Amino acid sequence: MIDIKDLTIEKASEMLKKGEVTSVDLTVACLKNIEARNKELNVFLEVFGDVLEQAKKADEIIKSGEAKKLTGIPIAIKDNILIIGRKVSAGSKMLENYVASYDAFVIKKLKEAGAVLIGRTNMDEFAMGSSTENSAYGPVKNPIDLTRVPGGSSGGSAAAVASGMCFGALGSDTGGSIRQPASFCGIVGMKPSYDVVSRSGVMAMASSLDQIGPFAKTSEDAKTIFDCIVGKDEMDSTSVVIEGRTFSTSIIGVPREWLKEGVDKEILENFEKSLEKLEKAGYKIKDISLPYSKYALAAYYILMPAEVSTNLSRLDGVRYGLRKEGENVFDTYKKSRSAGFGAETRRRIILGTYVLSHGYYDAYYNKAWKVRHAIEKEFENIFKEVNFVATPTTPTPAFKFGEKSDPLQMYLSDIFTVLANIAGTPTISVPSGFSSAGLPTGIQFTGPLFADESLFAIEKDLRENK
């Protein structure tokens, strides 16, 4: 049996082409790891029954010499991305038995590439959370320390890659939901620029912030998945093409004013060590100031719930999803929504309803949009001086279950990640080392809008300059 724990997509793809291994071998190895650990980790909500058939098909493509880089590679899919004919629940009781009626754009792309879709991964309900504790199907455990959260909301996808249950995974990132779990599980996670990966077929949470992106062991692998799913799609009216743009990659800006308080000491040490390594690799490090950006989290927790409350109004028990019969039509809406939605989802719907309500709209929603514009401008300007902005991905390593039972405390853990969603910029989280307790720590790099491709080289430079 082949050991795939440290096997990259890059290497596996070469081995497949040389005939040293088959897609069935790789898939069986993933299934073994799932069998061994899924019960304790609760990563997969479903492992697809036809994975071996998918792998056999991929092996035929490889034999015919038509293989692409992802042909035959087992990839896990977050449970809010639609695959035709398969269940997709967004971690919610509301959609427990919902079956997708079409393929998401990113799924079409993966299928065209011949990837093996291995299963759907557990997540915070409707992608709302930073720990997977909001999943209606129980939390995912961090494979590195079972007493700790894997991060969220794409915690299942991160844990699946980190525990060798797949080679790469897709997640969605509205305020850090790819990068934070990648950091907590010690892998690479990337949120593309807004608009460059089609959102067609990902369940809308907050449409002006949502993006689909890859999880992988290395940035080369993350790039392989990104290159596969990127592209213009007429089903997403915001979708754009980024080919043909070039960006400089030599100066890294660091907003040190943000790191003065509230950041774990070991996270900071690993952050500084990573910057030193990059300096040795030829990057210039420059102190920068981003005065508006410190309001990103406040603006985020106004704009996001506003969009959530609107987007989730479609779940009323009429056309699909859970229905609980009431006396009249409104009663049925209420009963269905109350039975289907968990506590955090309700909280954000109520919060969103409040900030959008008459009398508060200007003070909250419109003001938050203005702050967002100011932050976008601030980023445009800073990228005239530097090529990347670096911060730790999270203020602390993976926390324990139940540690952040107060919602505001949980929200504050997104302090560094939400900025990229507010500004729309591409951002990658890569491992920066471990804490003394052996927990992974992460560092994230943000580039200018559409500089997605330029983010992937940094992790390699970091890895090779020890």
Partner 1 sequence: MQIEDIEKLAELAKIELTDCEKQDLLRELDSILGYVKQVESVDVSDVELEYKNRNVWREDKIKNREFSREEIIEQFPDAQDGFVKVKKIL
**The two structure tokens encoding residue 200:** 């067609």
- Residue 234 CA to its chain's centroid (Å): 23
User: Which of 98, 379, 383, 388 is in the footprint of partner 1 by CB under 8 A?
Assistant: 98
Q: Answer whether 151's CB lies under 8 Å from 45's CB.
A: no
The answer to whether 406 contacts partner 1 (rule: CB under 8 A) is: yes
Choice among 13, 23, 153, 432 that is catalytic: 153
Closest distance of CB 349 from partner 1, Å: 5
Transcribe 329-359 into DSSP letters.
Answer: HHHHHHHHHHHHS-HHHHHHHHHHHHHTSTT
In the residue annotation, 153 being an active-site residue is answered as yes
CA distance 250 to 102: 43
The answer to whether 67 contacts partner 1 (rule: CB under 8 A) is: no
Q: Which stretch binds partner 1 (CB under 8 A): 135-143, 146-154, 276-284, 360-368?
A: 360-368
Number of residues that bind partner 1 (CB under 8 A): 62
Site string for partner 1, 104-143 (x = CB under 8 A): ----------------------------------------
CA distance 204 to 211: 10
Q: Which residue has the tokens 């809308």?
A: 204
Closest distance of CB 31 from partner 1, Å: 27
Choice among 13, 69, 78, 239 that is catalytic: 78
Q: Which stretch binds partner 1 (CB under 8 A): 16-24, 70-78, 297-305, 383-391?
A: 297-305
Residue 84 CB contacts under 8 Å (≥ 6 apart), including other chains: 100, 101, 102, 103, 107
Closest distance of CB 289 from partner 1, Å: 15
Residue 216's DSSP bridge partners are: 168, 188
Cross-sheet strand order for the sheet of 427-434: 44-47, 116-121, 74-78, 168-173, 211-216, 188-191, 427-434, 440-446, 388-392, 251-254, 284-287
Closest distance of CB 96 from partner 1, Å: 12
In the residue annotation, 157 being an active-site residue is answered as no
In the residue annotation, 177 being an active-site residue is answered as yes
Considering only residues 300 through 339, tell me which ones interact with partner 1, judged by CB under 8 A.
301-302, 309, 313, 316-323, 328-330, 332-335, 337-338
User: Which of 46, 47, 272, 369 is in the footprint of partner 1 by CB under 8 A?
Assistant: 369
DSSP state of 411: H
Q: Which residue has the tokens 């449970």?
A: 79
Identify residue 157 by its one-letter amino acid code.
Answer: S
Q: Which stretch binds partner 1 (CB under 8 A): 41-49, 215-223, 264-272, 294-302?
A: 294-302
How many Cβ atoms sit within 10 Å of the Cβ of residue 228?
Answer: 21
Closest distance of CB 30 from partner 1, Å: 27
The answer to whether 258 contacts partner 1 (rule: CB under 8 A) is: no
How many Cβ atoms sit within 10 Å of the Cβ of residue 99?
Answer: 13
How many Cβ atoms sit within 10 Å of the Cβ of residue 425?
Answer: 27
**The two structure tokens encoding residue 272:** 């500084």
The answer to whether 381 contacts partner 1 (rule: CB under 8 A) is: no
**For residue 75, with 0-12 CB atoms within 10 Å meaning exposed, 13-18 middle and 19 or more buried, which class applies?**
buried
Considering only residues 78 through 97, tell me which ones interact with partner 1, judged by CB under 8 A.
84-85
The answer to whether 439 contacts partner 1 (rule: CB under 8 A) is: no
The answer to whether 407 contacts partner 1 (rule: CB under 8 A) is: yes
Closest distance of CB 229 from partner 1, Å: 17
Closest distance of CB 436 from partner 1, Å: 31
DSSP H/E element including 252: strand 251-254
Q: How far is CA 397 from CA 48, 83, 163, in A?
A: 32, 33, 18
Closest distance of CB 66 from partner 1, Å: 22
User: Which of 48, 167, 215, 411 is in the footprint of partner 1 by CB under 8 A?
Assistant: 411
Site string for partner 1, 210-249 (x = CB under 8 A): ------------------------x--xx-----------
The answer to whether 198 contacts partner 1 (rule: CB under 8 A) is: no
Instruction: State the sign of the Cα–Cα–Cα–Cα dihedral 376, 381, 387, 393.
Output: negative
User: Which of 17, 57, 111, 346 is in the footprint of partner 1 by CB under 8 A?
Assistant: 346
CA distance 228 to 222: 10
The answer to whether 169 contacts partner 1 (rule: CB under 8 A) is: no
Choice among 177, 183, 293, 429 that is catalytic: 177
What positions carry a catalytic annotation? Answer: 78, 153, 177
In the complex, which residues of this chain contact partner 1 (CB under 8 A)? 84-85, 98-103, 208, 234, 237-238, 292, 295, 298-299, 301-302, 309, 313, 316-323, 328-330, 332-335, 337-338, 341, 343, 346-347, 349-351, 353-354, 357, 363-364, 366-371, 373-374, 377, 406-408, 411
